Chain A
Amino acid sequence: QKEVEQNSGPLSVPEGAIASLNCTYSDRGSQSFFWYRQYSGKSPELIMSIYSNGDKEDGRFTAQLNKASQYVSLLIRDSQPSDSATYLCATTGNQFYFGTGTSLTVIP
């Protein structure tokens, strides 16, 4: 079992819609959770971090964490074509674990 699981996609949404990205993790000791965005050929870029259960909003992005279900998600409101990228979920326990990423395409 992988430490962090993500649906690889691709996920396609029309411009202006809400994109929902999901991630599950296996280590109940995980304490910190992160979403990174990676454009093709570029390095991962931190979008958000979340440490406690519930929602955390930053602009068009909302991260949701449910430790009981070992589930973390990222919502992107008013999706833009520039949001088209691969989104990586990451958690920490004794080390840093990345998911393989979900490819998002926002269609103009």
Chain B
Amino acid sequence: NAGVMQNPRHLVRRRGQEARLRCSPMKGHSHVYWYRQLPEEGLKFMVYLQKENIIDESGMPKERFSAEFPKEGPSILRIQQVVRGDSAAYFCASSPYITGGPVDTQYFGPGTRLTVL
């Protein structure tokens, strides 16, 4: 049973380019979460998605950032017109669906290290 997969593991972009980060949840998991972590800082929640539905995007910057989790394929975090301040590690996590239950354990992928030149 493969874990959470993220690709690419390292991504280098020049200012103004677009960055696309992909996340495939664990088998059987229907919830995906994206986090950003700056060097020497904690995890910052960005967005919580189920398939074809954004549940909570309260942590997403209002501009340039978007996320989707289509019916088929991985979840994608898209950053348009990247700036140097976007350089960070972006982690994806997934959890199973629990009917009527609380949000449950999240399992993390290896992360994508984004460097903006």
Contacts and interface: CB of A to CB of B under 8 A. Distances in A.
A binds B: yes
A92 B35 CA distance: 15
Given A43-B110, A45-B108, A99 B42 contact: yes
A4 B79 CA distance: 28
Interface residues of A, number: 22
B102 A31 contact: yes
Contacts of A100: 41-42
B103 to A, nearest CB: 4
Contact of B104 (A32, A42, A88, A98): A32
Interface in B93-115: 102-111
B4 to A, nearest CB: 9
A106 B45 CA distance: 29
A34 interface: yes
Contacts of B41: 100
A95 B42 contact: no
A49 interface: yes
B105 A34 contact: yes
Contacts of A92: 102-104
A81 interface: no
A90 B108 CA distance: 13
B33 A43 contact: no
Interface of A: 31-32, 34, 36, 42-46, 49, 88, 90, 92-101
Q: Which 9 residue pairs are nearest across A and B when measured between Cβ atoms? A: A100-B42, A43-B108, A92-B103, A31-B102, A98-B43, A44-B108, A43-B111, A43-B110, A92-B102
5 contacts: A44-B108, A92-B102, A95-B45, A98-B35, A100-B41
